[in-house]
Every structure is written in C-alpha cells, then in structure tokens.
Structure 1
C-alpha cells in the first residue's frame, strides 16, 4: 500500500511537498535554510504538528552541519557562549512560525536542553554542535515508528470497544477531521494512521472525513491520501457531521491534536469541537490520537492554550484547479486562487484551532497506550500514556 511522503531527505538535501498545491500538483520544494523552513511552516506549505517539528529539526541540523563544514568556521562556532546565543535565537525564530503546535515547542525544548547539558559538561564547541545535530535528527526519525504504535493501540482498543457493545469489531466506520496522515507527519499518521491500521487489518468499513474549511485539508489532503492508499472513503462538508451521525452508523470519531493540556483538553483544527459535541449527542466514541510530544503537562487546561488566528483574508479565498482542467506547457494542471466573498469584509473570525473539553473525549491515544476517563470524571489522568 503506497503512501505519500511530506518530507524526503537525501544526504543533506531536504525537500517537502508544497501542500498548498495539492491535490492536483505534487511539487517538492527544497528547503535550504532555517528561514525557508520557517516560511514553509508559517505559510502552511507544510502542516501537521509532527511534520512541522520534523522539518524544523532537520533544517536546524542542516544549518549547524553546514557551519561545521565551512572553512573558516562561522563566528557562532568560535566559542560555546557564541554558539549558545546563536542557537537559542535560531530556535526561538523557528518556534514563532506556528506557536500552537506543541510538537514544535517540544522539539525546541529538547534541543535547548541538549545545548545546556553539553555546554555545562564542558564539551568543545564542535562536540556541542554534533550533539545538537544528533538530537535534531532523532526528533525527525522517531515519528514514523511511534505513529505505527499509536495507530495499533487505538485501532485495537476501538475494535474491543465495539465488541463490548455487541458488535463484531469489524466493518468499523470512522470519521476524521482535517489531515493527520503521512502528509501531516513523518509517515503513517496519527488519527489517519488509526484508520490506515484498521484498513490493513481488514476491520475498516469506511473512512469519512470533513472538508475542513477554510484550508480544506480534508478535501485536498486526506482525500488524496485515502485515494492513494485505496481506502474506502466518503467526504462530507463540515456542516454535514450531524446529518451523518443521524443517518449512518459511525463507530468512532478519530482526530489528531496540536496540543493536549494536562487535564486532557485538546486543541486541534477548527471544527473538531463541533464534531465532538455532535458525537457526544449521538453516543459516538471520540478518540484523540497524538504522540507524547503533543501532551503539554505545563498547561493545566484548555483555557491556557494559545489559539492562533490566521489572516482574515485566508477565510475568503480558495485555491484549486481550473475546471474544466487546463494544462500548462509542462502538462501540469493550471491552478488559481479565487475569492468567495465580497471584497473588503470588515468582520472575519478566523481561528485556526478550537479546544475540545476533556469531558467530550472518550480516549486519548499515544505511542504508550490508551487513556480513558474514569466514570464521573471530567478530566484525564495521562500519567500512563506520557
């Protein structure tokens, strides 16, 4: 079963799929600097909390490696103090690209911790730099394996839950929001990974997914991934979730997360909270699938999660292929950006995320296992899965 890849590397070359051009054009863009990585993250050429952290780490590692390989050495490698000041400024710059995505923050903290430990150990500048490169590459490499583990944990748990309710544990229909597959991670995916796992185990009925306006990560990206993997699927508009639950048997909603607070409150793509409320009304299990790095134990609850607001104009625009298709000289489908609204609207509310309260979440799945709430509790004890 083939999968798309959001990031590919060869030697020291880093390339990403420009997700703004998907699904009609698959174009890899080379990332040659920290600044280009920052801009790609900020402008959503790459998105998905794990993929963002991976790209930032890889770009940072390549930057430090280039410094080591340069003769004469750049000024920031002249002493441990200059290296420390320079690295911290670069890491802070990368963090500013998408601050809500906690995986990025976790990666930045890990790199800063390695910097502090290696510096305090009295290592040479070159060894400190080498330690930073190793940690950055580890951050990027560990994502795929943990995604497969959490997908298996979540898929098996859902199958057993269905059996406990009198079902067969097979033919499971699962709704997801946004895109949480290979394009949002270093491979396999989180919530979409759970769906992929069920398909591989022949336990999936159909995957349902919302379009996820205004960036349409569902209709552009999830649709493309499911089509590529030949997984039976159905797209719905964001406003159709309630109707779907009324008229079709849905066994679970599975979503990813950009940040999970200590009590289980979860920030994810806008529209997730809507799906959670409707799932609760229809007694449909609501599952959050995310790596441990997404759990922010320093944030007590959802009210403390910073919510990124995108440019108002982004809610007025849509990009896609000209229809009927037109092709350029290279055979690529011509794409255009069009405005769907009157120009110069004064009132536009455009948050990128919403927060789903823990009391609406049935289970939180990480690579360590599945956490559920005790009966009567409105929050999670996540100690067993972090």
Structure 2
C-alpha cells in the first residue's frame, strides 16, 4: 500500500514530497516559509488542486505558529488592523502561485473570511492567530474524508449504470487522466479514489491511464500509486486514447478537476478535453470527480476560467532515471533532464489545462452526491451537490 502522501507534518515540521523526482527518488522538502510554499506550488514540486490548497493552508498555520512563538512578537501582531493587512497580503500572494486551481482560492478566501469574522467579533490578534491556525488545519484534515465519500458516490453510480445497461458489475475498466490520487490530495484521491474504491469492492478489472505529457503525471505518479496499491493497470500515450476506445471495452473515464464552472464546464489537466471528445464518439460515460470547493459558482461557464500557460521550456524537457539504471554513491538511481526538441525552438504552445464543455460530461461527483444533466439539456444544475 502507498504509505505516504504529498504532505506530512511531524515534530513541528511541514514537509512535501518533491513530485518532480518521483517515482525514482523520494525526497521530502521542508517548507520553512510562505515563500517556500509558494515556490513548491509554482514549480509543481507539489501539484493537484486539493493538495496545493492544503499546503497553502498549512503553510499559513505554520507561519502564524512561528510568529506566536517569537519574542518579542512581530509588529503586525500588535493590532488587528496590522494583522489583517499583513495576512491578506500573504493570502493574495499564495493565490497567484497557480490561479486555475479554484481550491487554492477557496482556501485563501476561507481564511480571509474567518479573519474578518474574528475581527468583527472583537477578538485580539493573538486569539485570531490561534483560531486561524485551527481553521487552516481543518482545511487540510477535511480532504481525506470527502475524497472517500465522493469516490463511493461515483463508484456506486457507475456500477448501477453498467448493471442497468445489462453489463457485468464485477469487471469494470476505467480510464483516467493525469494524477488524482493521494499525491494530488491529502489522501485517497478523487478520480483515482473512485478507481481505488472499485478495486477495494471487487468491481474493477483494470485501470487505464494516460502518460499526461508534458509533465508525465500519469506515467510518473499515477503509475507509482497504482503499482503501490496493487491495482491492475495499463499505461497509454495521450495520443492512443482513440485506439484504446476502438479496441477495448472501457466502461467510463474518470477525471479530476481544477475548476468547475456553474454550468458544469470543467478545467482539468491538458488532454482531458481530447479524452472527452473521444469518449462521446464512443458513447463512454465521462465522469468528473472533485470536491465542492472546486465548483466556482462565480464563473458562469468555461470561458471565464483562467488557463495557466507554463514556460515553453517545460514542454521541451523530460526528466527521469538513467536507463540502463545507474546508481550514485548513495545507492539511489541517477536522474537527468534531457531536451527532446531542437534547442531554441520557437512557437511552443504549453497550456497546463483545457476546458471540457458540460455537454461532453455525463456526471459530476462531489462529496455531496452525483449530478447528471436533465433530459435534453446540455448543462448541469449543480445545486444538489454544492
């Protein structure tokens, strides 16, 4: 079984596993400051919408705890006005690390709202800091429970759908995109959690997953998690999805989300839209699994979702272990970054996300249940699950 998550806290330390080095090297990086947290999120040492929201929250908690333990206290802890101005700047800074992922914004807004509520209640700065530390830790702790809930809702919905269409409910094949397991969350996962739930309940035959280039979250991270969990699985290149659908009986596509608009349009890892189009062509259910915090009711549709574009160089490089395997002096696998394009290539298109229209999505699952479109409609009413 996978025995670690993307974030760990012990002995007063906040650490993240450097996902850029997985699956060949497991290296934990200590987060000692807000800037460390920002860099970890921005550089994708940690990724996955729920996980980065947890890290941002825990980094704020750690920062406030350090401030409370400092003598003399920082100037910004002397008055509530100074406290608010200082913390609001920190929260705004963290939000800019990866703006597409709405969970990060939801976490920073939740802390900001809690701050204002405590100020309005007349609490002093020290008390506010302590209560914000508790709130920040709650944001992280709530993730695992809701992941298990949505995985169960989605898994049971899929099993029932297959049964009503005359299929077997004990040999399901489900494909996913990117990485949405323990490494992308605080534990268990969203779309990969659904696959894990089907495996645990004896309903899954095989999981399929795309490499998810250019960062290879699928071939590096999802492969690592599925192997650790002993879940039968098959990797495919992103360009092989259509062929898979032509030649294999795939019962569903399950993906996560970085932001879901009010009408159900969904931003997720680049390549998700391609898979959704092909799934529609082959009449395969396309399921989005994401917590309520991912649904952004302030954005009417996908056209209002900001799409992060990564530096061009990232699409030109690949990092991995040397092959054949070479060990360094400490017995660890040697890794290297190589360029797979001509040097100085111009005109690189490198968005991190694409938007899948609600019309191509069969179901959206949160911890509150499953939403499907009404007959004849192209968009979702997400009210029951938000």
TM-score bucket of the superposed structures, by smaller chain: over 0.9
Q: Give the secondary-structure state (helix, strand or coil) at the position aligned to 1:142.
A: helix
Residue pair 1:154, 1:194 contacting (<8 A) in 2 also: yes
C-alpha displacement at 1:23, in angstroms? Answer: 0.6
TM-score of the superposed pair, with normalisation by structure 2: 0.99
Alpha-carbon distance between aligned partners in 1 of 2:311 and 2:45, rounded to the nearest angstrom: 15
**Superposition RMSD in Å:** 0.7
**Matched residue, 2:229:** 229
Residue pair 1:6, 1:17 contacting (<8 A) in 2 also: yes
C-alpha displacement at 1:3, in angstroms? Answer: 4.4
Alpha-carbon distance between aligned partners in 2 of 1:244 and 1:167, rounded to the nearest angstrom: 19
Alpha-carbon distance between aligned partners in 1 of 2:268 and 2:68, rounded to the nearest angstrom: 38
**Matched residue, 1:307:** 307
**Matched residue, 1:73:** 73
Residue pair 1:3, 1:229 contacting (<8 A) in 2 also: no
Alpha-carbon distance between aligned partners in 2 of 1:375 and 1:278, rounded to the nearest angstrom: 22
Alpha-carbon distance between aligned partners in 2 of 1:298 and 1:231, rounded to the nearest angstrom: 38
Alpha-carbon distance between aligned partners in 1 of 2:3 and 2:156, rounded to the nearest angstrom: 22
Contiguous gaps of at least 5 residues in structure 2: none
C-alpha displacement at 1:29, in angstroms? Answer: 1.0
Alpha-carbon distance between aligned partners in 2 of 1:189 and 1:348, rounded to the nearest angstrom: 32
**Matched residue, 1:197:** 197
C-alpha displacement at 1:130, in angstroms? Answer: 1.2
**Matched residue, 1:130:** 130
C-alpha displacement at 1:122, in angstroms? Answer: 1.0
C-alpha displacement at 1:15, in angstroms? Answer: 1.0
Once structures 1 and 2 are overlaid, which stretch shifts more, 241-250 or 123-132? 123-132
C-alpha displacement at 1:28, in angstroms? Answer: 1.0
**Matched residue, 1:320:** 320
Residue pair 1:4, 1:225 contacting (<8 A) in 2 also: no
Alpha-carbon distance between aligned partners in 2 of 1:175 and 1:144, rounded to the nearest angstrom: 22
Residue pair 1:3, 1:182 contacting (<8 A) in 2 also: no
**Matched residue, 1:341:** 341
C-alpha displacement at 1:134, in angstroms? Answer: 1.0
Number of aligned residue pairs: 386
Q: Give the secondary-structure state (helix, strand or coil) at the position aligned to 1:365.
A: strand
- Please give the residue correspondences for 1:290-305 in structure 2 after superposition, counting only pairs within 5 Å: 290-305=290-305
**Matched residue, 1:355:** 355
- Please give the residue correspondences for 1:207-286 in structure 2 after superposition, counting only pairs within 5 Å: 207-286=207-286
1:120-175 CA distances to partner (integer Å, 9 max, x unpaired)? 11111111111211110000110000000000000000000000110121210000
**Matched residue, 1:98:** 98
Matched, 1:35 2:35: yes
Q: Give the secondary-structure state (helix, strand or coil) at the position aligned to 2:384.
A: coil
Alpha-carbon distance between aligned partners in 1 of 2:117 and 2:80, rounded to the nearest angstrom: 12
Alpha-carbon distance between aligned partners in 2 of 1:11 and 1:359, rounded to the nearest angstrom: 48
Q: Give the secondary-structure state (helix, strand or coil) at the position aligned to 2:381.
A: coil
Residue pair 2:2, 2:225 contacting (<8 A) in 1 also: no
Alpha-carbon distance between aligned partners in 2 of 1:170 and 1:110, rounded to the nearest angstrom: 41
Residue pair 1:3, 1:188 contacting (<8 A) in 2 also: no
**Matched residue, 1:163:** 163
TM-score of the superposed pair, with normalisation by structure 1: 0.99
